[in-house]
Copies of this chain bind each other. A is one copy, B any other.
Amino acid sequence: MIIVLSQKASGQEKDSLRRDLEKRGFEIHESQGKTTTIWGLVGDTSSITEDELLAYDSVKTVRRIKEAYKLANREAKPEDTVVEVSGRKIGGGYFQVIAGPCSIESQTQITEVAESIRQAGAGLLRGGAFKPRTSPYSFQGLREDGLQLLLEAKKATGLPIVTEIMRPDAIPLFEEVDVIQVGARNMQNFELLKELGKLRKPILLKRGLANTLDELLMSAEYIMAGGNSQVILCERGIRTFETSMRNTLDISAIPMLKKKSHLPVVVDPSHAAGLRFMVEPLALAAVAAGADGLMIEVHNDPARALCDGPQSLTPAMFSELMDKVKKLLPLSGKQMEQGE
């Protein structure tokens, strides 16, 4: 952490700041320029925020040198993390496709979709039981019943399942769920993250609509600080001024996250675009940019889907996409394996 002192800071103010910092266990390296005094702060700076320092009138500006996330940081663990879900690996050269409907609607629907994506080569099944909806008047998911149907589809197809949690006290319901998803709107639901940190189960953490990559990694850190190191990061589009699509897929997030962190990065082109015709080009772009996996919405009857119909692929479209992904993967030096 670098602290630039204000030119107007008195000797007394500086001493007071110095004492406060030393009391917290930091060492100070002073560098005196012609008009500027700079302090380098040595110690575990993850416990101090820029704001705590800026609160002193004697401080002009602060620059964090070392990131505040430690466990998620690639500097702390240079090799890629490989998350294993019932024998299926993601990260470190292993690629997985997670597919399924936005929301679980009926036994027929989820089982049909599950079977079709399995045949096309998807490694995990997704399906929403608890649905975060902007409007209280929209379909809120089948909830417990939906979870039950998803578990049946898991049994029928052998596909591990991914589904979203929305509140800490619902965790017991997710015992047989293979990967618990934290949605974009809950990325900074810190109480939820803390509870998920106590589990020993993979967590798929979606980036919030307007959260920076550093904030995403700080949220991963919440889970990891609790002892659960199996975090999969997911880029799903951010909110910008552009209005012709629902969200703007931040494709640069892939190389940047992989530089900053060792955690696997999955991309959800369906939510990013919100439009069916864009899912394939965005999915292929994500593979080319180095993603470790994809998350794709597939529905057997998109026009009658209870949510996110406009962005859902039909099973036939999904199968075509998978063929292209399979051709592209070798160029990215990655392999897709569906377990045995």
Residues of B within 8 A of A42 (CB): 33-34
Residues of B within 8 A of A212 (CB): 241-244
Contact bitstring A102-123, B, C-beta under 8 A = 1, else 0: 0000000000000000000000
Cβ–Cβ contact A68 & B135, under 8 A: yes
Q: Would you call A252 an interface residue if the criterion is a C-beta within 8 Å of the partner chain's C-beta atoms?
A: yes
Cβ–Cβ contact A40 & B33, under 8 A: yes
Residues of B within 8 A of A239 (CB): 210, 241
Cβ–Cβ contact B55 & A218, under 8 A: no
Cβ–Cβ contact A285 & B289, under 8 A: yes
Cβ–Cβ contact B309 & A52, under 8 A: yes
Cβ–Cβ contact B242 & A213, under 8 A: yes
Q: Would you call A278 an interface residue if the criterion is a C-beta within 8 Å of the partner chain's C-beta atoms?
A: yes
Cβ–Cβ contact B54 & A222, under 8 A: no
Residues of B within 8 A of A336 (CB): none
Q: Which residue of B lies closest to A304 (CB)?
A: B20
Contact bitstring A171-204, B, C-beta under 8 A = 1, else 0: 0000000000000011011111010000000000
Whole-angstrom distance between the alpha carbons of A305 and B55 in the complex? Answer: 8
Whole-angstrom distance between the alpha carbons of A60 and B4 in the complex? Answer: 18
Cβ–Cβ contact B63 & A2, under 8 A: yes
Cβ–Cβ contact B250 & A188, under 8 A: no
Residues of B within 8 A of A337 (CB): none
Contact bitstring A204-234, B, C-beta under 8 A = 1, else 0: 0000111011110010011001000000000
Q: Would you call A151 an interface residue if the criterion is a C-beta within 8 Å of the partner chain's C-beta atoms?
A: no
Whole-angstrom distance between the alpha carbons of A167 and B168 in the complex? Answer: 8
Q: Would you call A287 an interface residue if the criterion is a C-beta within 8 Å of the partner chain's C-beta atoms?
A: yes
Give the Cβ gap from A211 to chain B, nearest Cβ, in Å.
Answer: 8
Give the Cβ gap from A328 to chain B, nearest Cβ, in Å.
Answer: 6
Cβ–Cβ contact A132 & B190, under 8 A: yes
Q: Would you call A272 an interface residue if the criterion is a C-beta within 8 Å of the partner chain's C-beta atoms?
A: yes
Q: Would you call A10 an interface residue if the criterion is a C-beta within 8 Å of the partner chain's C-beta atoms?
A: no
Query: Which of A82-90, A154-162, A254-262 is the interface stretch?
Result: A254-262
Q: Would you call A96 an interface residue if the criterion is a C-beta within 8 Å of the partner chain's C-beta atoms?
A: no
Cβ–Cβ contact A310 & B55, under 8 A: yes
Cβ–Cβ contact B61 & A65, under 8 A: yes
Whole-angstrom distance between the alpha carbons of A209 and B302 in the complex? Answer: 32
**20 additional contacts (CB under 8 A) given A20-B304, A240-B250, A255-B277:** A30-B31, A31-B40, A57-B303, A68-B135, A132-B188, A133-B190, A136-B190, A166-B189, A167-B192, A210-B210, A239-B241, A240-B241, A244-B260, A245-B256, A248-B250, A249-B251, A249-B252, A251-B285, A256-B278, A285-B288
CB<8 Å pairs between A and B, sample of 17:
A4-B65, A31-B40, A36-B40, A49-B138, A51-B308, A54-B309, A56-B309, A63-B63, A68-B134, A134-B188, A136-B222, A166-B189, A169-B169, A248-B252, A249-B252, A284-B289, A285-B289
